[in-house]
Amino acid sequence: MQRANRKQVLGNSPRPTTRRARQLAADGVVGRTDIAPGLELYRAVRASVVMRGQSFVQFCAEQSVDRSWAQQALTGGRDGKKAKALREQLVQAAGLHTDSIG
C-alpha cells in the first residue's frame, strides 16, 4: 500500500486552514485579527485592487510590503503574528469589510 503524498491529499490548496479559522468561518465570526487566510481572501483583495485600476504589485509597493510576502500572508502560507497583522492591513487598505469575509 502506497502512502499518498501531500499534493494528492490536499489537491492544489496551498495549505489547510487552521481549526480556529475553520470554526470562525463556520460561525460567521471573523474578527479583525482572525481573518481566515486562504485563496478566496487573496483573490478578493486582488480583485478589489484591480477594480481600482492598480496591479497587485503596485498595491504592495504602495503598502511598502514585498508581493510574495503579502501573497503568503493572504493565502495562509505564513500565519504568525506579523502575517496576521499584515493580512489585516492589506484587507483594510483594499477596502474590504471584514464581516463579509470568511
Can you give the pLDDT at residue 98?
Answer: 59
pTM of the full structure: 0.63
Contact 98, 36 (CB under 8 A): no
Each residue's pLDDT tens digit, 26-83: 554 444 445 788 999 999 999 999 998 999 999 999 999 999 999 999 999 998 999 9
User: What cell was used for 54?
Assistant: 492598480
Please, what's the largest Cα pairwise distance for the chain? 52
